[in-house]
Structure 1
Amino acid sequence: MLSALIVMDVFSDSDNESTLGTRAHLMEDVDLVESSLAQLTDDHLLNTKEEIRNQLGRLETNLTTLNEKSSAAASQIEKYYEARREADRRLDTQYQREIAEGLDKYLTTVQRHHEQISQREERKIRSDAAFEEAKRKEKAMLEEKKRIEKAKAEAEAKAKAEEAMKAAIEAESRAMKEVAEREAAENLKKVDAVQAQETIVGAPTTKPVNSVGQAKGTALDGTNVSRSPGSMVRASRNALTLEQERLQKLKEVEEGNQALRLSSNKDFSTHERHIARLIRQIVGTKENVSTKTSQLLKIFMDPLCPQTISIAAFAKKVVSQCESSENAVFACSHVIVLVTSQVPSAMVLLLAEFHRACIYTVPKHVGYSEAAFESKESYYKTLGFREDADGKMESVKDYLKRLEAYMKLYGALVQTEVPGARNIHGLEEGWAWLARFLNAVPPNIYTATALYAFLQVAGFALFRKYKSQFRKLLNIISDNFLSALRGKENPGLKQIIVQIESYLEDRKFLQEPEGRTLRGSLLSSGMVPESEYTKDSYSRSGNSYFY
């Protein structure tokens, strides 16, 4: 700013000099006073200018000095600031170092403190764990002692129950065998008497006959058909007695199993699901039947699950599974025979489940009576019809389909003969069932369906054993049972009548049912010949069977 003033002064001097020149030119025309005044004025101006120049020089010198001092001061200030910043940096570094060291010491102290706490807690936990372990071992010893005592008591009770069941099975088997033999002998006598009478008279007897030479209303075992006023239960007395005994045994086992479940904290549902899965996996091959039999027997012998629970689950699942595994009835019957030959008590429960699911496996039929049943639905439930969640009764078609499945499995069971294993409920029982059926139950769509399903799977084996006697029963079916069905003039009976007629006329009992002979493996293209089948036998290895 001072430089600018100096420049302005220089320009002012130049202007003044021009002005003086102009005035000097004009002084020639003015008077002496004015010239003197002008000279004085000019001198004054020159002195003033000189003084101003001197002042400007001094100011410029002072300004230069001041600028130099200012620069020096600024430099010193800058150096001071730099030294201060350096000192601050050193202090900051030292401060941070001290903070880090203090923090490290603090963290070390805290960590040591936590380690000490952890060690104390760990020692306390170990002490508590040792105390709890000692208590647990003591408790486990007490529980193990109680469990051993309980298992011992259960084993003794089960052994007694098994002995009683085996004795009952043997007694029942002997009784049924005696009844079957007596019925077979009486059948032959009655049939021969009827045929002799027909030969003499030249025409069939006019009195309706339900079975082998037996008048309608009586049974071959010498008992009358039950005709109570309330309901018409059609069955032989022996069949009803056996049914009640088996159902009572099943009820006792179920009650015992329920008591076992309530008294034990174990869950036996895993074993039951395993049994159901094995039954669903049964197919018509020797290898499969052998494997499933071994696995089922292994479950029955498992000490972790009472045998009564296992065999009850086996009986229930076999009967229920036959509804959806119709093609495996022969394979399933092989498994049943192999299992029950080792665990005979399972057969009683299985037959009881059959009777509970299908009354025609007894065999028996219940006639309708308004005095005995509140409604038709109640009567249908007695026959075995199912009711859905909405309270709607299943259709006759669905019921007949289930009835057929039950009877096919039952027929497959009685005709199954396995080398090396005894069928507790074999062909003699099938023959007795057929005789009791023709003697007691009336011809209708339900009984006709049951009879046809039974003949489809058991007729071949019954003919091979009883031959002419079986043919006589077939003649009675044709002459009496079918005749009674035709006389009903019910359009719904037409199909089953045609099926039974076709079975008799085409002599299908001479043809081995499909699937009766088990295949060697799933890859077999055909059935194993009968000679080869009978030549093979089951060889026992522990609880396993092999063809």
Structure 2
Amino acid sequence: MRIVVSEPHCPKSVQGFSYDPEPNRSFDRLVCETESFAKKLNALKTARSDRGFVVRVSEDDMDSDEDVESAQEEEEDYSQICTCDDLYLSDDEFDHELEYMMDKMDLAENDHQTKTKEDIKNQVSVVEKEIMNEIETSRSALARVEKYRENRREVERRLDLQYKRKVAEALDTHMSAVQREHEIKSQIEERIIRSEEAQEEAKKRERANQEEKIRQEKGEKEVIERVSVVALALEKHRLKKLEELEAMNQELKSRLNQDFRSFERSIGRSIRQITGVKDTVDAKINEIVKVFKDPRCPLSISIAAFAKRMVSCRQNPFACSYIIGYVTSKFPQAMDILLAEFHKACIYTVPNHDVNSVWDSEAYERLDSTMRLYGALVQTDIRGGNATNIHGIEHGWAWLARFFNNISAINIATVTALNAFLQTAGFGLHQRYKSQFVKVMNVEPEGRTMKTSLLSTEFTAVLDQQNNNQHYQRNDYIDCY
């Protein structure tokens, strides 16, 4: 609130009464002091009317003119209210003069009060206006402050909502990350558990496979030993039959005293004239069967001549094998004699191997031609009529298994025998046994164990080419029938 300071045009104090308002006083206090001053002034008038007017001048005030002048200067304001000359007045004059002075003083006092009141009113109105302005200013300021406060509250509310939203999003993101982490951990743990279970299951299967492999190896070893024994027994049995047949033929020749060489030459001539033409093969089959059925020549002599000359034949192995298959289907007893001749001509037809054998170029040629003919024989499939190959592809598969299981060394002889056999029998074995045949060809025998492939790398390319050639030759030959 604004402070009002009033300066009246009168002495500061008269008879102990002060007209000078205190600074920083309020309006209410000023009114209160004015009323108090009026009361004191009325009391003073009452007191002065009861007693006479006495003017006293102290001796100290009259000591010097300088002191009078200074006193007059100090009390200059008072001289306007009350001035007395150094005159002697009577009581009436004094009363009259006092009354006149009192009236004059009352008029001055009234004028002064009126002027003071007007000034006070003016100042009060100014103060009221200023107060109202201050109030309006304060109200507008308060309104602005309140509006600013509301704006700040709205901004803070929005910021708080935004902050809460961000906190919620961050919390949601964190919870999602934690959930994903838990899921990942659970998946990892589950994978670890499954992996451990799979490893344990794999170990169990591996142990079971090893045990089964050991049992199979034992069984295979027993089978191999048994098969080897069977093969050797069959070889001995066939060779024994051949010896008995030769002995019986010698006895017949000596007992009958006849020359059967014409029949033997007829069989040999028919075999030498075998070609891959259908009519020729049919004619040679008829000639050989006719000799076999000729009553003038014992069947044993015809069989012995047929087996010996057929095994030594080195041309057209597929045509010869077809003739062998057809003739032996009509005369089954000739097959053992023929196989015995194969065993005598080449021990690899058993199969068997003699590490002490010495091989020359002619022996290798004979080995190659014999194994080609034997391979062609086991894969021959006679179509039409009532003829059947009694030494078919299953015997070739058995021979291949025996060869890999019984061979004790890899040398030129074993490689030549295997190569010649596969060149004629490989296509039929693959057609019959497919993936098993491929697996067998991807191993190499080492004693009675199997190791990494050497035979396949050496012979696969040649085998493919030969099989293609055999396929075309065999199809061309079979189409003739």
CA shift digits 1:135-188 (9 cap, x unpaired): xxxxxxxxxxxxxxxxxxxxxxxxxxxxxxxxxxxxxxxxxxxxxxxxxxxxxx
Residue 285 of structure 1 deviates from its aligned partner by 1.5
Residue 365 of structure 1 deviates from its aligned partner by 1.3
Which of residues 287, 291, 316 in structure 1 aligns to 2:308? 316
Structure 2 SS opposite 1:220: helix
Count of residue pairs the alignment pairs up: 273
Percent identity, aligned pairs only, is: 44
Amino acid paired to 1:330? F
Aligned residues of 2:321 and 2:376 also touching (Cα < 8 A): yes
Q: Does 1:283 align with 2:275?
A: yes
Distance in 2 of aligned mates of 1:458 and 1:249: 27
Distance in 2 of aligned mates of 1:436 and 1:217: 11
Which of residues 396, 410, 419 in structure 2 aligns to 1:444? 410
Aligned residues of 1:337 and 1:416 also touching (Cα < 8 A): yes
Q: What is the match of residue 318 of structure 2? A: 330
Distance in 2 of aligned mates of 1:337 and 1:356: 20
Distance in 2 of aligned mates of 1:397 and 1:461: 29
Distance in 2 of aligned mates of 1:436 and 1:364: 9
- In our comparison, the structure showing a higher alpha carbon Rg is 2
Distance in 2 of aligned mates of 1:485 and 1:353: 35
Change (3 A) 1:482 1:457: farther
Aligned residues of 1:283 and 1:331 also touching (Cα < 8 A): yes
Amino acid paired to 1:436? R
Q: What is the match of residue 423 of structure 1? A: 389
Distance in 2 of aligned mates of 1:292 and 1:241: 33
Aligned residues of 1:278 and 1:296 also touching (Cα < 8 A): yes
Matches within 5 A, 1:291-310: 291-310=283-302
Which of residues 336, 339, 362 in structure 1 aligns to 2:327? 339
Q: Which runs of 5+ in 2 are unaligned?
A: 1-201
Q: What is the match of residue 117 of structure 2? A: none
Amino acid paired to 2:271? I
Matches within 5 A, 1:146-157: none
Aligned residues of 2:270 and 2:284 also touching (Cα < 8 A): yes
Change (3 A) 1:219 1:331: farther
Q: What is the match of residue 352 of structure 1? A: 340
Please, what is the CA RMSD of the aligned residues?
3.6
Residue 448 of structure 1 deviates from its aligned partner by 1.7
Distance in 2 of aligned mates of 1:482 and 1:289: 43
Residue 500 of structure 1 deviates from its aligned partner by 5.3
Residue 505 of structure 1 deviates from its aligned partner by 5.0
Distance in 1 of aligned mates of 2:472 and 2:308: 23
Amino acid paired to 2:434? K
Distance in 2 of aligned mates of 1:295 and 1:411: 25
Q: Does 1:220 align with 2:223?
A: yes
Q: What is the match of residue 434 of structure 2? A: 467
Change (3 A) 1:363 1:478: closer
Residue 216 of structure 1 deviates from its aligned partner by 13
Residue 284 of structure 1 deviates from its aligned partner by 1.0
Amino acid paired to 1:423? N
Residue 482 of structure 1 deviates from its aligned partner by 12
Distance in 1 of aligned mates of 2:224 and 2:445: 22
Aligned residues of 2:444 and 2:452 also touching (Cα < 8 A): no
Matches within 5 A, 1:481-500: none
Residue 214 of structure 1 deviates from its aligned partner by 4.6
Structure-1-length-normalised TM-score? 0.45
Residue 475 of structure 1 deviates from its aligned partner by 1.6
Residue 447 of structure 1 deviates from its aligned partner by 1.5
Q: What is the match of residue 249 of structure 1? A: 241
Amino acid paired to 1:349? I
Q: What is the match of residue 376 of structure 1? A: none
Aligned residues of 2:443 and 2:456 also touching (Cα < 8 A): no
Aligned residues of 2:405 and 2:447 also touching (Cα < 8 A): no
Change (3 A) 1:361 1:516: farther
Q: What is the match of residue 362 of structure 1? A: 350
CA shift digits 1:350-384 (9 cap, x unpaired): 000000111100001133xxxxxxxxxxx43xxxx
Residue 511 of structure 1 deviates from its aligned partner by 3.5
Change (3 A) 1:365 1:506: closer
Distance in 1 of aligned mates of 2:288 and 2:463: 38
Q: Which runs of 5+ in 1 are unaligned?
A: 1-195, 224-234, 368-378, 386-394, 487-496, 520-526, 537-546
Distance in 2 of aligned mates of 1:262 and 1:483: 53
Distance in 1 of aligned mates of 2:362 and 2:237: 30
Q: What is the match of residue 489 of structure 1? A: none
Q: What is the match of residue 399 of structure 1? A: 363
CA shift digits 1:428-474 (9 cap, x unpaired): 10000011111111232211211111111101100001111111111
Amino acid paired to 2:319? A
Distance in 2 of aligned mates of 1:481 and 1:453: 22
Residue 263 of structure 1 deviates from its aligned partner by 0.6
Aligned residues of 2:406 and 2:447 also touching (Cα < 8 A): no
Q: Does 1:504 align with 2:428?
A: no
Aligned residues of 2:242 and 2:340 also touching (Cα < 8 A): yes
Structure 2 SS opposite 1:366: coil
Q: What is the match of residue 24 of structure 1? A: none
Amino acid paired to 2:428? A
Distance in 2 of aligned mates of 1:412 and 1:338: 13
Distance in 1 of aligned mates of 2:321 and 2:462: 26
Change (3 A) 1:294 1:516: farther
Q: What is the match of residue 454 of structure 1? A: 421
Aligned residues of 1:214 and 1:220 also touching (Cα < 8 A): no
Aligned residues of 2:423 and 2:466 also touching (Cα < 8 A): no
CA shift digits 1:55-108 (9 cap, x unpaired): xxxxxxxxxxxxxxxxxxxxxxxxxxxxxxxxxxxxxxxxxxxxxxxxxxxxxx
Residue 264 of structure 1 deviates from its aligned partner by 1.1
CA shift digits 1:35-67 (9 cap, x unpaired): xxxxxxxxxxxxxxxxxxxxxxxxxxxxxxxxx
Matches within 5 A, 1:66-77: none
Aligned residues of 1:417 and 1:423 also touching (Cα < 8 A): yes
Which of residues 273, 277, 284 in structure 1 aligns to 2:265? 273
Aligned residues of 1:319 and 1:353 also touching (Cα < 8 A): yes
Aligned residues of 1:219 and 1:440 also touching (Cα < 8 A): no
Distance in 2 of aligned mates of 1:479 and 1:436: 13
Which protein has greater RCO, CA pairs closer than 8 Å, 6+ apart? Answer: 1
Q: What is the match of residue 413 of structure 1? A: 377
Structure 2 SS opposite 1:236: helix
Structure-2-length-normalised TM-score? 0.51
Matches within 5 A, 1:91-110: none
Q: What is the match of residue 255 of structure 2? A: 263
Aligned residues of 1:286 and 1:518 also touching (Cα < 8 A): no
Amino acid paired to 1:277? R
